[in-house]
Structure 1
């Protein structure tokens, strides 16, 4: 079946890719993880009539180790991506990036935990092995654009390409993509940002893709069972050093723990220090002294945070700004104290105290629905 007829959709597929010339003269590279989202992007790209090439990066085959299907870029996912490409009649290539992924993402994840930080490895992956290397490959293939299955919108504003949150707030992935540069955004396309997930699955079924009903990944790809401590110990065995659980206000030792890698700031469960007059939360981690510091919820209130290695997407608007410090949190009003972008450090000040803000997380800044940029939280006040 010709690729331009396999997806009989009412969508104007060509407009989703914002191609610079007639589709028949264009080449689109699609990042294919083996999931339903990137597979639908490949089907939409093929339906434009452009030449389409699918690329899968083999990053971490955790599925083989755990026996669990659905781990990102594991053997089953590569097989699914290949099968979809065969169905669509497009070329498909797999590149081994396990060593780079381990060094830039997995080891950094472990080091952050050992330092008492709260890591966000999906952002590290997008900043490194995924976009940097995929962009290079796509340009070496003389592609007109690189398309991914992320749920964000790319819109053209007065100053050029802008990143906006997805129309489906439950699927929005803009928090993980704040480090996208202006140059990258000029070249990347996000065709699914204007669709709800239900529509994406309908398109997958319409195209006859074998992974149309494949479950979404709910975990970090290389920790599909949710046991972060196990991964950290495997990379950094010293991470299991036991120590004291100490009250941050009184200095009293309240209990013992089996390693700071089991805790993150804001955590309440798993402390095993009952019999106290009020609930206590992890308010700080002293990894050097193997100390977990706990206190009442009021101690989690943060008024400002310094962010480093900042990135800015497009011009900084002269309008009200908001920020998210966790992927599932709602943006809250802030003021920006200093420049943003070019790797500089700056400070964000919350209009109201924000809870659960911890070093290692990312702070992503918005102007309405537009993603302005963000940076890594270095410290909080």
Structure 2
């Protein structure tokens, strides 16, 4: 009998994990422990040395017991938790990257760590396109004005009118699964799409009908810029005061990827000066933003509370991806999405 901990939360519930693992491995005798952390009602944050985690080390240790496998989204698998769980052999995280796991500690302890790339690509791409349209056409602001009793006919005046995607130049910073989906939609609207991504080659860009350019060229040419890069030391504050000044007057900027990609300090002045015509944000340098955050009262800003991946399909897809890797592990096969493949020699899982 193999014990599995299903450490879910308010988005991917423990029961969703349990059902997905049972469906993926119907032939195995499994017993389940469950834990539900407070996310998303309670914001995630650092726990110990890991980032973007929910819950405490103490409650996770109490739930783990003798579990050999853990499936989770946000639970904090810190060095302390891993070292205190000698029975644990696999942690499967249903996120695009296992940022809530101390990979070094897991590797040292012989614990394989798998993750779920692409789980929210469709949801995040659709949300980004929605934010782009909302920013270009002032949809949330005009809705709020009308509900407040203000008929803003002046929004139809030429100086206040929005922009179409048809014939516009859109710049995408990052061209992974999400960026590529966004590009397809923008091209269907009739936009010319520029891409900055050092890891994408010209051949792929040509097939997809997008143009690979340097970041400075993208910023100079794009009436709307949308961020889709991963956050790494190299991409931290990739967009900053110096290069944001290259944007055409009145450009729109959309960040639905990671707050750390963008330097938020220059944004209020860029909005007030009109260099930025609109700003749409789903992610922030501090989440949630504090009450005195300067962008709360800056003009033409759309803000949402990190909802890009929030669809029911994403939750089911995420649970299914990790459950498939759990089933592989139980059959003695290598999981498909390993963060530390060196832990498992060929045929080592059992």
TM-score (norm 2): 0.30
Greater RCO between the two (CA within 8 Å, min separation 6)?
2
Question: As a proportion of its length, which structure holds more helix?
Answer: 2
The structure in which a higher percent of residues are strand is 1
